[in-house]
Amino acid sequence: MGTSIPTASGELPVIGHGVQLARRRTEFLASLTEIGEIVEINMVGMPAYVLTDPDLIWRVLVSESHNYVRGRMFDKMTEVLGNGLATISGKAHRDTRRILQPTFHRQQVAAYGPIMSSTAADVAESWQAGRAIEVDDAMNDLTARVVNGILFASDLGAAAADAIQRRLPVVMKGMLTRTLIPGAWQRLPLPANTRYRKAIDQMDSAIDEAITAYRSARADHSDMLTTLLALRDEAGKPMPDQWIHDQVITVAVGGIETTSAALSWCLHYIGTRPDVEEQLHRELDTVLGDRPVELMHVMALKYVGRVVQEVLRMHAVAVFMRRTLGPTQLGAYELPPNAEIIVSPYTMHRNARWFPEPARFDPDRWSRPETQNLPKGAFIPFSAGHSKCIADNFAVLEITLALAEICRRWRLRPVPGQSVREITTGATRPDRLTMIPEARSRASV
Ligand code: HEM
């Protein structure tokens, strides 16, 4: 007999913990740490097990990962991502990851640096001193332009880039809600459902058209779509169009909202914490002087790195899931076959045992001993194991370059009286973040 698993309180008949998952998702998940290292919740009629202990998380993601496949969340994502890298399991995942890995190799990612910094420069250039900007929209625009620029350097991909830029936010909003709150409502002809379906269809057909146009042009556009079209399987055959389609949409879904959320939070904290802003500006002035940021500066931007790390801790992805294959022993607990497991980086990163004063934004914790010896599984912004984010280096490089380029030019001031609300879609992002740019010169520091 395994140790019994506690259940979260506040469960209602029929809907279980549906209200908490819909309205107070991150607070609810973070509160489970108090109850146990594994806690059962009711996802509207479906039991799921939330892990709050780093050792259990490490077993599921890394050392005992052979006992699990992707869970319900990924089944739902298949509607959008098809057989993209982020949704498949087992051999199909291993093969696809091996084929795609070189596209995200450190050296290849370094080659994306110029697009990342020039896009940030363009976005920062478009602002005017004193004229308020919606930072969350601006950062979404920036990261969508980076991902689109890397995917499609040719005009043949312009319509696909446009569809991704405009339709993806609608899709991201619908996807997590559909995962956590199952039900027949998803098939009803409600305006939200119609919008969601239409947005997926528009992205799908624009990406298919780009693939067809690239195949006929047979040119090297020095972009990711050209690389994907040139890939071969084990038998030396080109990858099918649908496979390429699914990887393109996976990169867009995985790479735009996550990085824009992190960038927005960085700008929020820099703008509201004079101590953080001062240290950051001092470093930018020392490392960059009056020059635009380039790849060669990144290693020296140590404080910027700590700011990014702290945002990845505080506003991590709310959930991703796994499912047991058969009856499974997880530490002291016995899980039934097909049990849905929730890993919540957000919950883990808000645990005071590993991160004292977890609600405090404190970039310097990353230069103190307390974070040097964290247990494996305690800090997992990009997950861990064979499905760890394939683009973790890409994301950190993009955020670092964009922050440096924006903050060397502007101080972004919060609008007085604005309170910033955190919402979770694919990422955990600020709902609305309005800030006012003030021009900055080195002399003003
Ligand atoms: C701050 C930014 C980002 C965060 C926090 C993040 C987070 C994550 C997490 C937690 C996973 C793993 C889920 C699991 O274990 O099941 C993941 C997987 C993935 N991410 Fe990211 N990501 C970020 C940026 C990006 C970017 C920029 C791209 C693409 C350009 C990307 C593409 C992917 C892909 C393709 C996977 C699937 C990997 C696999 O299953 O082998 N991500 N990401």
Lowest model confidence (mean pLDDT) among 30-44, 49-63, 175-189, 333-347: 175-189
348 lines ligand 1 (CB under 6 A): no
Average pLDDT over residues 37-53: 92
The pLDDT score that the predictor gives to residue 407 is 97
| Number of C-beta neighbours around residue 208 at 10 A | 16
The average confidence (pLDDT) of the chain is: 92
Which residue from 73, 109, 314, 389 has its CB within 8 A of the most atoms of ligand 1, so it is best to mutate? 389
Task: Report the atom number in ligand 1 closest to the C-alpha of 84.
Answer: 35
Q: How far apart are the CA of 48 and the centre of ligand 1, in A?
A: 23
How many helices and strands, by DSSP H and E, does the chain display? Answer: 17, 12
Q: How far apart are the CA of 255 and the centre of ligand 1, in A?
A: 7
Q: How far apart are CA 211 and CA 155, in angstroms?
A: 12
Tokens representing 251?
């990169």
What fold characterizes domain 18-444? Cytochrome p450 (1.10.630)
Where exactly are the structural domains of the chain?
A: 18-444
250 lines ligand 1 (CB under 6 A): yes
Q: How far apart are the CA of 189 and the centre of ligand 1, in A?
A: 32
Q: How far apart are CA 209 and CA 280, in angstroms?
A: 44
The pLDDT score that the predictor gives to residue 178 is 74
Task: Report the atom number in ligand 1 closest to the C-alpha of 250.
Answer: 35
pLDDT single digits (tens) 162-221 = 999 999 888 887 876 776 666 667 777 788 888 888 999 999 999 999 999 999 999 999
339 lines ligand 1 (CB under 6 A): no
Q: How far apart are the CA of 392 and the centre of ligand 1, in A?
A: 7
Q: Identify whether the C-beta of residue 327 lies closer than 8 Å to the C-beta of residue 1.
A: no
The pLDDT score that the predictor gives to residue 443 is 41
CB neighbour burial string for 276-308, b if at least 16 within 10 angstroms, e if fewer: bbebbbebbeebbeeebbebebbeebebbbbbb
Residues contacting residue 292 through CB under 8 Å, at least 6 positions apart = 117, 121, 405, 408
389 is in an annotated binding site: yes
